[in-house]
A and B are shown apart, each in its own frame.
Chain A
Amino acid sequence: EAQVTQNPRYLITVTGKKLTVTCSQNMNHEYMSWYRQDPGLGLRQIYYSMNVEVTDKGDVPEGYKVSRKEKRNFPLILESPSPNQTSLYFCASSPSPFDRAGEYGYTFGSGTRLTVV
């Protein structure tokens, strides 16, 4: 089944303790992205990747890191989490970053609910 898999689904952690949220897709998609969703603010992009070793900042990249060493994986790293990073996080993928004609849409993971205390 074609899917984007995020782990963990739920995570409670303490301020300052480094964590990684994993994202993996099995569709050979070139483009992957991370979003956070907060009440009243909607979904906002954190980082995106156009291909292996190619990443760029979205709207809210502060406090986050990403890496794209393999096509299928795009982990989100919080080196020193803070309570304002408590949120619902989504990973998404799409076939081609240059598909401006919009032939393909996005596939989203099921989300990771992170609480930082």
Chain B
Amino acid sequence: KQEVTQIPAALSVPEGENLVLNCSFTDSAIYNLQWFRQDPGKGLTSLLLIQSSQREQTSGRLNASLDKSSGRSTLYIAASQPGDSATYLCARGFQKLVFGTGTRLLVSP
């Protein structure tokens, strides 16, 4: 069964710091990987989708990479801001998305 693990579970950084969130998965099958953001009590916002044939995607200050051979994806956030504070979830698969348990990020001013 596909498992998705996210490390760390929580992260607290000062504003301006660059940071990396990690996502690892057990199934190296050809599926895409998606990163989401979830604000407290709210829904999920899609941040980046990496197609199975791609190695990375970029959107503004966010960059996500996918390494199927090692079963890992990383989300890089440059120059973090307090508005980036949220829980970040990675998910793998298609007909059935398998989610990691998330990394709770707090960026302090």
Q: Which of B30, B43, B49, B102 contacts A42 (CB 8 A)?
A: B102
B51 at the interface (CB under 8 A from A): yes
Most chain A Cβ neighbours within 10 Å, of B52, B91, B94:
B94
Q: Closest residue of chain A to B98, judged by CB? A: A45
Most chain B Cβ neighbours within 10 Å, of A50, A92, A97, A106:
A106
CB neighbours (8 Å) of A42 from chain B are 89, 99-102
Sample (30) of A-B pairs whose CB atoms are under 8 Å apart: A33-B96, A33-B97, A35-B99, A42-B100, A42-B101, A42-B102, A43-B91, A43-B99, A44-B99, A45-B96, A48-B95, A90-B43, A90-B44, A100-B52, A100-B94, A101-B32, A101-B52, A101-B53, A102-B31, A102-B32, A102-B50, A102-B51, A102-B94, A105-B32, A106-B34, A106-B46, A106-B91, A108-B36, A111-B43, A113-B41
CB neighbours (8 Å) of A41 from chain B are 101
CB neighbours (8 Å) of B52 from chain A are 100-102
Binary interface encoding of chain A residues 82-117 relative to chain B, with 1 for a CB under 8 A from any of its CBs, else 0: 000000001010100101111111111111010000
Interface size on B, residues (CB 8 A): 26
Given contacts A92-B97, A107-B46, 10 further A-B contacts (CB under 8 A): A35-B97, A41-B101, A42-B99, A48-B95, A50-B95, A58-B96, A100-B31, A101-B51, A102-B32, A102-B49
Query: Given A45-B96, A45-B97, A48-B95, does the pair A100, B102 have CB atoms closer than 8 Å?
Result: no
What is the count of residue pairs linking A and B with beta-carbon distances less than 8 angstroms? 70
Q: A106 to B99: give the CA distance in the assembly, Å.
A: 13
Most chain B Cβ neighbours within 10 Å, of A94, A102, A103:
A102
CB neighbours (8 Å) of B46 from chain A are 105-108
CB neighbours (8 Å) of B61 from chain A are none
